Structure 1
């Protein structure tokens, strides 16, 4: 079968279709040689896609050409335009990467490959496939930001032509656009792309809501045109009087912006629309501040509604002065003041003044985008699940205006509701992992303290400190969440290896052998045959309940060349636990074992070892599979809090529940849950789920509760 490049091109070069001529008109900024390469890319793409059609019935090649046209409006380089024309060839045609690289160079081939989805692989669900494809695209973005520009243009054209899709597909694509691609465009500072993606996504996702809001906007603006014209004229006159050359334009809120503000801020349509918006664009930073003074001289500013994003740019490189003033008609006026360059960056973000070749020079949006992508790459390397990674990315895509300072004056941007612990991880992963407290504006504060813009934050660390599972409830940033989870998984693995080692040692001892007595070569061979790369993997597998220690010991003894000689199990050494093995051990909810109880372990595949009290009614059933039962006992030094259920028989009258709860709290025990088990006219039975340190602590709690005059009895539940 001939390759796509070896066959003659299908279309006539001298008579291109109208959509190709429209693209060429937009590419007048390219040199003739670059334009010829773009034309060749069209010929190759048109031939490769052949008779393929879109859902609308149009030739498929019209889509990649339209994507290239969107990018041409941003005046991107010829390699990006070529890659846009060919972006679906590797996925949907016989064209190969080698052929692309030979014809158009390695850079174009890398761009096309970066945009290509992972459809050839098998995934458990559509969501997992989409997440893994996004992860692949992210890695390509890290090498070349142009990958995401092509993908955004591809998504924008798909949204413009979404009408040909089935309703269910329209909603799915619209949701993905609103949750992922519009926020990415915003994160990259591409507000023009973001606005259109949000508008098209909102219209496809909620057509009725979009129609209602759009109709209300049109009717409202019709009544306000005269007032807006007067305000605009007053602004121009004042700026001219100050000798400031500037462009003044009115801003109209988009339906999606109004919808989200109504929903998140619980405002009515009238409240959201009761604001006039204007933009003042001038030629220099000094003129921006001069214009700000002129505007404040014309209209009085609202207190605490001024933001200087020129001195402190947003995370996506956006720069502007924002102020809200009292207007002449008794309504607020929102005014943005910026330079022409800032306006270009605000609209196009990373695509403004494109300077791909000089990675260190581009605009502020480009350098900040590279920092963001590099941070995501570091995050994804620590995340095993693509679905978990994409959820982290979603969190990171909605950064609100929280800007804080390091002690040296460096500005860090953090997401909405960020805490001091988020700040510590933003400084460096090691700083976050060893943080113990912070100083916020030179005052000591706990790690869970929420930060607000303008604060100065210093992190206090200790070499012995390490992440705690509770930290996951304190952080909102993807970087912090991923780093904490990675550390906890590492600790879990270490706990599993250590516990598995003890279990295997015990089983080998029962068989009259030890790990040291098995020749290294024989052990390595057995591990390889059973698909373990290292001994640690086997030990962790044993602790997680996927392998039975006695069976592994029996096989290893045979490998050694000996016979299994089981000693009397009655005198078998029990495995001692401290409670610190929480990542591997699970404490059964059916009997809630406490330090001091007689216990045993039961190996459950996938769950690891579940610890039960010997009095647990389920133990008799467990004994039917003795190979999964493990002799266990508590160590002398036990740490942590343990859940237990307390059954309290009380008089049924007002205030009793509060009295019992207060008695439990006074015993330094935390109440996790309260449930009425039985309730009569005179009495009631309540089951409290509480946390205690050991049996003695539980006895103290029960004694204090029993002293209450309204309590008939207190029992550990189940009995």
Structure 2
């Protein structure tokens, strides 16, 4: 039997554990007294299971140095700081990484957080480990400051580009995973920021490198922190399905095990469930219901060799009927990232679809822990981008691993030399700027902002003043010195800058300067002409200038003045048209009073007016759409210009503004409690999108025999949250409250509320 069988069996058993557990195969046991030696002993036990040649003396030395220098340091949780690097090393041991990685993990915070220098690490542990620690330290300085898509992708690229040894990235991922497990000790805002950074930067990197177990846990921990309502809802829905199907899955596993035993095929058989975030993405991005996700819960069969894989497939199809079109042979036709397995979906005894995956132990280990660019299938990216091409060669190294007997030799060969034509540098606040290789501080300045570029007079690179024409390098922190009395860019910069955007902005500045000179000259000539006629610019409204400009086929007033300044048009011709416009009289606006309103020939009543106006009858009444008052709300009336009396809630934002400037137009109104009446109310519903969701929500409203006046739907592209807005006719706000409470009970709905102006919500 393969020596990793027992470990894989443990992992698979962990995966089938109840959903309320975190599903992690890495979770550390509770250590009540926080004794680092117990954590260290646990780490050694893990290492001995997969690497008999590990230099434990070197590990002891690393632990002793790290413990000594972290001795007085504590984490936010109050536990000794040394436990963190030990847990990071434990995560790497779980995915069976090499000696250099484990030692580097134990020492990874040494240079940054203690007085232990790079030179000391080189002397005591060698240059390779020192460079790995130094690389992790550099990555720790990267600041996630923007969720903008391009910025996030640049950050991912920068992390990889700065990691000359791929083990730097893997240690950083393990470091982030342990930090996410202990996130509860941080404040609310720090939790959110850390979770966003993890979900948008580190989880995708783990995915691209094919480290599935770390990626899955990073996603689920971030998902729980950022979208807790959706997380809880998904968790409840998945648990419900698992509870419903657990007996069925156990029976299927038992049947397969008995059949394989009869034909003497050794195998490990167990169930596995998808990660919550992965399920959420399938529901929202592919518009599928939970019942349409066939691999929500699957059976995994792991055997010794490829021949046994196909034999197991035949046995399974002889027991149950396969679903047409749901068989995938990734052994004969591996995915682009070399993933191999047989996937088939069968109809179980109770008529439910059930996915079964069949693979060898070697294939399973590759799928769970392999370092590969395994990301396009799930992320929905099918084009072979430049980034794909640069990182795709890692897949080849995975094949070479089979030829290298020593895993140390294999991992030493994983050196990254990516993005040779571009560099990634920092602003002082940590934002990543992507520039072409050879770019200068001037290019950097224009990337920050056009005005920063125009006013640039100097630059600091990593805190040291450098000429503005000097070249920048990967990882530089660049600070631009700007002039307090700006004179604009130099024409010489056109031969220095490397980016077309900087070059174009410099050219635009000079073009704008010439236009400004023409504008100033034209304005001066126009002002002199106006003064000769006892006028000024204040006497000529801007609309008059714009109308004259359009009559003379100019875009606007500024363009007209520039043309006067460049002598393309006569100022006297323009002035004549201005005077003609000023002499035209405008008809005064008619003021509408309360008396005008009462003479309105028609009265709009909603099942009877429903509104009593103090001292008035037969008056035009409208219900304000800005706040949509319903019986039971406190209301006031406002006399509009031509639309009768508009009825608002007393706390409506618009009314608060009008009372400051137009208080004489307010009139006392009240609800007519004896008149049959229906009024419009708006309801907002927010939910995780799924099929038949709209039908289920509208059914709730229909149960009250209410009329839906209007309905609109939207679906956010970022997180695929469905939002519905309904305008319904109701008789009072108490019915409205009851409707909203029942809508909240609909599956996947996590919020429903009455829509009011911001102040009233």
Report the TM-score when normalising by structure 2. Answer: 0.48
Cα distance change of structure 1 residues 120 and 78 upon mapping to structure 2, 3 Å threshold: closer
SS at match of 1:55: coil
- What does residue 22 of structure 1 align with? 42
Which of 130, 155, 160 in structure 2 is aligned with 1:138? Answer: 160
Counterparts of 2:417 and 2:141, CA distance in 1: 28
Contact 2:341 2:359 in 1 (8 A): yes
Task: Give the counterpart of 1:56 among 77, 102, 106.
Answer: 77
Query: Are 2:541 and 1:544 equivalent residues in the alignment?
Result: no
Q: 2 CA distance for matches of 1:77 and 1:281?
A: 25
SS at match of 1:17: helix
- In 2: Cα distance, 1:389 partner to 1:308 partner: 44
Q: Distance in 2 between matches of 1:205 and 1:120?
A: 23
Task: Select the residue among 147, 159, 165 that pairs with 2:186.
Answer: 165
- Taking the aligned partners of 1:370 and 1:294, their CA distance within structure 2 comes to 43
SS in 1 for 2:401: coil
Q: Which of 372, 377, 391 is the matching residue for 2:419?
A: 377
C-alpha deviation, 1:309, in angstroms: 1.9
Q: Give the equivalent residue in structure 1 for 2:341.
A: 320
Which residue number in structure 2 is paired with residue 181 of structure 1?
Answer: 202
Q: Does 1:362 align with 2:384?
A: no
Contact 1:188 1:350 in 2 (8 A): yes
The corresponding residue for 1:648 is none
Match of 2:285 in 1: 264
Structure 1 length-normalised TM: 0.50
Residue 294 (structure 1) shift: 2.2
Distance 1:271 1:370, change over 3 A: farther
Question: How many pairs align?
Answer: 434
- The 8 Å contact of residues 192 and 348 in structure 1, kept in 2 or not, is answered as yes
Q: Which residue of 2 aligns with 1:619?
A: 559
1:463-510 Cα distance to aligned partner (Å, 9 max, x none): xxxxxxxxxxxxxxxxxxx99xxxxx9xx99xxxxxxxxxxxxxxxxx
| Structure 1: stretches of 5+ with no match in the other structure | 1-14, 393-481, 484-488, 494-528, 552-589, 592-596, 600-612, 632-719
**Could you tell me which residue of structure 1 aligns to residue 363 of structure 2?**
342
Report the counterpart of residue 302 of structure 2 in structure 1: 281
Q: Does 1:116 align with 2:176?
A: no
Show CA shifts across 1:297-318 (max 9, x none). 2222222212222233334432
Q: Decide which structure has the larger Cα Rg and report it.
A: 2
Aligned-residue Cα RMSD (Å) equals 5.5
- Structure 2 spans left out of the alignment, 5+ residues: 1-34, 373-393, 438-442, 448-488, 516-544, 569-761
The answer (yes or no) to whether the contact 1:64–1:84 under 8 Å persists in 2 is yes
1:535 is aligned to 495
Q: Using a 3 Å threshold, how does the CA distance of structure 1 residues 348 and 328 change in structure 2: closer, same or farther?
A: same
Q: CA separation of 1:326/1:379 partners in 2, compared to 1, >3 Å: closer, same or farther?
A: farther
Q: Matched residues in 1 for 2:47 and 2:60: separation?
A: 11
What is the rounded CA distance, in whole Å, between the counterparts of 1:94 and 1:129 in structure 2?
34
Which runs of structure 2 are paired with 1:438-587 in the superposition (5 Å)?
532=492, 535=495, 537=497, 542-545=506-509
1:278, CA displacement in angstroms? 0.7
**Distance in 2 between the 1:168 and 1:618 partners?**
47
Output the CA distance in 2 between the equivalents of 1:36 and 1:371. 24
Distance of aligned partners of 1:115 and 1:275 in 2 relative to their CA distance in 1, 3 Å threshold: closer
Residues 316 and 217 of structure 1, relative CA distance in 2, 3 Å threshold:
same
2:365, 2:567 → 1: CA distance? 68
Report the equivalent of 1:508.
Answer: none
CA distance in 2, matches of 1:196, 1:121: 22
- 1:187, 1:162 → 2: CA distance? 24
Gap change, CA 1:544 and 1:119, over 3 Å in 2? farther
Tell me the distance in 1 between the aligned counterparts of 2:182 and 2:161: 28
Between the aligned partners of 2:396 and 2:55, the Cα distance in structure 1 is 16
- The equivalent of 2:211 in structure 1 is 190
How far did residue 620 of structure 1 move? 4.0
Deviates more, 1:213-222 or 1:367-376: 367-376
Residues 86, 321 of structure 1: alpha-carbon distance in 2 compared, 3 angstrom cutoff? same
Measured after TM superposition, the shift of residue 102 of structure 1 is: 2.2
Instruction: Tell me the alpha carbon deviations over residues 431-452 of structure 1, each in whole angstroms, 9 at most, x when there is no partner.
Output: xxxxxxxxxxxxxxxxxxxxxx
Structure-2 residue corresponding to 1:656: none
